Amino acid sequence: MLHSRTITTVASRTLLVAAVVLLQAVGIPTDAKAQSEGGLLLSVGAEKKLGKKLSLNLEADFRTRNNFKTVDRWSGSLGAEYKFTKWLKADAGYTLLHTNFREKITDYTSSKGNAKQKWRPSYWGLRHRTYVSLTADHKIWKNLRLSLRERWQYTYRPEAETTRWKLDPRDYTMELDDGYTRDGKGKNQLRSRLLLSWDQKLALFKPYGSVELYNSWAVEKIRYTVGTDIRLGRNHALDVFYRFQNQRQQDEEDYDPNMHYVGVGYKIKF
């Protein structure tokens, strides 16, 4: 009979191999692309049980981009989760995002018929997000568990005043575009996540792999994640993971490249 740590190690390697095969199957190379960037994801969370079925959770996140050199955003979330049965649960919450919006260069034609560009530097701004989810899971073999989560989220970016410059590519002169206001914008998205995990009580490592699709009338991006939960104590856990984010469609106002993330999260339960 195999030792529990041996089973855990085998499961971890199996999930990692499955993730690589999946990336290659959908035509995404496992090595970094030229247009890809690297980033760091850090999070701290707390969960408070209010009974057998209801719990509250609080989380703070930090994210970087530009190959770890630029702060991308800070965020804080407050949510609640309710278990209907052992295999079905629902959750809802609110997230406040303080985002460093990327710079943008737009081509345009001046009144004199000359081809020029407009340059908007990066700037910080707030976004508000609400979400509601439904998650179903099933143990498919021993401690191997498969779950499907469907989440609807709505994100609103308020109107903001920022700086924009007009650039003439002929002599590289710049003229300030006074009074530029970026209009407010709301966006609905459906996030569908399939998660395969090793769920063994009191195990030191609990490896997992997931695929998540962001859909807004079309698949806009896909997230592939492999990682493991590390048990630090009865109520403490660490989450270490790698994530590849494949950007399938670009927003008209914001450019997002493919991303390679390394993430670490800490969570405590009360």
Least confident of 14-18, 226-230, 251-255: 14-18
Q: pLDDT per residue over 219-230, tens digit each?
A: 999 999 999 999
Q: How far apart are CA 163 and CA 175, in angstroms?
A: 11
Q: pLDDT per residue over 45-100, tens digit each?
A: 999 999 999 999 999 999 999 999 999 999 999 999 999 999 999 999 999 999 99
User: What amino acid is encoded at 202 in this protein?
Assistant: L
pLDDT band at 105 (very low <50, low <70, confident <90, very high): confident
- CA distances (Å), origin 141, targets 3, 149, 196, 200: 17, 20, 11, 12
Q: Is pLDDT of 31 > 70?
A: no
Place of tokens 């609400």: 130
Q: pLDDT per residue over 120-154, tens digit each?
A: 899 999 999 999 999 999 999 889 999 999 999 99
Q: Which H helix or E strand runs over 242?
A: strand 236-247
- Contacts for 27 with CB less than 8 Å, ≥ 6 apart: none
CB 63 within 8 A of CB 260: no
Least confident of 75-79, 100-104, 113-117: 113-117
Average pLDDT in the 19-41 region? 58
Helix ranges, the chain (H): 4-25
Q: Is pLDDT of 13 > 60?
A: no
Which one is predicted more confidently, 190 or 33? 190
Average pLDDT in the 250-259 region? 79
Which one is predicted more confidently, 30 or 207? 207
pLDDT band at 111 (very low <50, low <70, confident <90, very high): low
Place of tokens 């509250």: 56
User: What amino acid is encoded at 244 in this protein?
Assistant: F
Q: How far apart are CA 126 and CA 107, in angstroms?
A: 27
CB 135 within 8 A of CB 91: yes
